[in-house]
Structure 1
Amino acid sequence: MTQNPPTPDPDPDPEAHRRKEEKRNERYMWWYLAYFLFGIHLVALVMIYAVRHGK
Structure 2
Amino acid sequence: MGGDPPAPRQHRPAGRPPARPGVQHQGPPGALMPDAEQRRLALEKKRERYVWYYLAYFLFGIHIVAFVMIYAVTHAK
Q: TM-score of the superposition, structure 1-length normalised?
A: 0.75
Q: Whose helix proportion is higher, 1 or 2?
A: 1
Per the alignment, residue 47 of structure 2 pairs with: 25
Cα-Cα RMSD: 0.9
Q: Which runs of 5+ in 1 are unaligned?
A: 1-11
The aligned length equals 44
Instruction: Tell me: higher relative CO, structure 1 or 2? Use CA pairs within 8 A at least 6 residues apart.
Output: 2
Deviation at 1:14, TM superposition (A): 1.1
Q: TM-score of the superposition, structure 2-length normalised?
A: 0.54
Moved over 6 A (4+): none
Percent of residue pairs bearing the same amino acid type: 68
